Each structure stands twice: as C-alpha cells, then as structure tokens.
C-alpha cells in the first residue's frame, strides 16, 4: 500500500471549458494537489486536445503545480514552449519515444519534475532502466486519448509491481494512476500502491460540484486505508 497522504490531481480534460478557470479554482479550494493537463496531437493518440495557450491561461488563475501529460509525437519539440507557459512538470510516454533518456534529461535540465508514463499493455519492466532518473511514474489504467473510459482492472497487478520497483530502486518517487478513477476504483489503486490519483469526470464532471466530488473521493480512499 502507498505510504502517506494520497494526492489528487484533477484532470481538466473533463472540464467545461467555458468555465475552466472556475473549475480549477474550485479544485484548488477543495484541496487539489496539482492540475493534470492532457495534451494530445491526434497522432500519438486519436484525439486532439489543449496546448500552450491553455497552460498560459491556467497559470494566471492557479498557484497549483501544472503537470503536463504529453501524449504527442516528438515531445522534445514542445518542452520549451510549455515551460515558458508556466508548466511545473512533464509526463512523457515510454511508448514511441526514440530516446526516452534524452527526453527525461532535457526536462530535468529545464528544472522541471519529470515522469514516465506506461500504457495498459506496456510491462512494468519497461521502467527498470529509467526509474532512477525520474520523479514519478504514471501507470495508465485506460488506453490514453479519451476521457470517460472504464477502469482496466488487469492493470492492478502492474501497479503493485511498479510500487515494488519504486521501493527497491527510487524511494520517494510518486506512483500516479490515470483512467477511470472514481470512488469505487480509487481505493483499489491506493491499495495496490498508488499515491497520486488523476481523476477527470469523477471531479470536474459531477453535478454535485467539485468540492463535494473531491470530498467523496478522499473519503473513499481514507476509508479503505483505515
């Protein structure tokens, strides 16, 4: 099981973009630990989403760290622009990266936190050689590209394996999960070893409001931990 406080990272992919600043402000007031920004180019994943202007706008309305999940081809080409826009951390995929070590080192040279992402079908062993160089690992619990997907339960053993690797190789490295996280699945991934939860529709697409949604998610996690 993950140790310490579980962090929540609302994903703005599920937000109403007409009220994006409002939603992010509510998430900050509700105790969010960071804001997760999904960047898609229509090539790496079959969808197109937000870019540098969105990050610039977010930087003006929140003091929370902005972590940028780069689901794009050639992420190295965009690191400078997103850094200038106010990004605090970058998450880059193991899949399709010609030189992952170079990308990770480039992010570190920019003075930003860096994490590596693995898709549901990618093995935990893919992290073995890069784990010592990163600040966090993100295990996708859905296939990347779209929100509102169902949690893939077969990723739970992999989360446990990654937690074991972190404990053996890089203690203090965050283990983040993304995809289908709600009050039902959050306790499962925390029990498997995750300590950072990305949640989109479970927080920003709830009729009851952001504050109540985050309170319910934290309550589910805390009840399982106790």
Instruction: List active site positions.
Output: 38, 178
In terms of Cα–Cα distance, which of 132, 119, 141 is closest to 194?
Answer: 141
CA distance 183 to 5: 16
Q: How would DSSP label each residue in 18-57? A: GGHHHHHHHHHHTT-S-EEEEEEBSSSSS-B---HHHHHH
In terms of Cα–Cα distance, which of 167, 154, 149, 175 is closest to 91?
Answer: 175
Q: Is 180 left (phi over 0), alpha (psi -120 to 50) or beta?
A: left
Q: Please, which contacts does 17-20 make with residues 24 or more away whose CB atoms are closer than 8 Å?
A: 20/54, 20/57, 20/58
What phi, psi does 209 have (nearest 5°)? 105, 160
Strand ranges, E, within 12-141: 35-40, 66-71, 89-93, 113-118, 136-140
């Amino acid at each position: 099981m993950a140790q310490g406080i579980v962090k929540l990272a609302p994903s703005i992919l599920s937000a109403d973009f007409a009220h994006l600043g409002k939603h992010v402000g509510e998430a900050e007031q509700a105790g969010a630990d960071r804001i997760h920004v999904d960047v898609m180019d229509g090539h790496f994943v079959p969808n197109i989403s937000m870019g540098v202007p969105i990050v610039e706008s977010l930087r003006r309305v929140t003091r929370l760290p902005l972590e940028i999940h780069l689901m794009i081809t050639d992420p190295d080409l965009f690191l400078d622009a997103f850094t200038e826009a106010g990004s605090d951390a970058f998450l880059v995929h193991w899949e399709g990266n010609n030189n992952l070590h170079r990308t990770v080192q480039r992010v570190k040279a920019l003075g930003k936190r860096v994490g590596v992402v693995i898709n549901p079908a990618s093995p935990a062993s893919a992290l073995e050689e890069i784990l010592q160089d990163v600040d966090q690992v993100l295990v996708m619990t859905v296939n990347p590209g779209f929100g509102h997907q169902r949690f893939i339960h077969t990723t739970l053993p992999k989360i446990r394996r990654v937690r074991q690797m972190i404990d053996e190789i890089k203690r203090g490295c965050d283990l983040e999960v993304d995809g289908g996280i709600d009050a039902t699945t959050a306790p499962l991934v925390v029990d498997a070893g995750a300590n950072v939860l990305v949640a989109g529709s479970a927080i920003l697409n709830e009729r009851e409001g952001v504050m109540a949604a985050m309170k319910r998610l934290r309550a589910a996690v805390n009840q399982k931990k106790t």
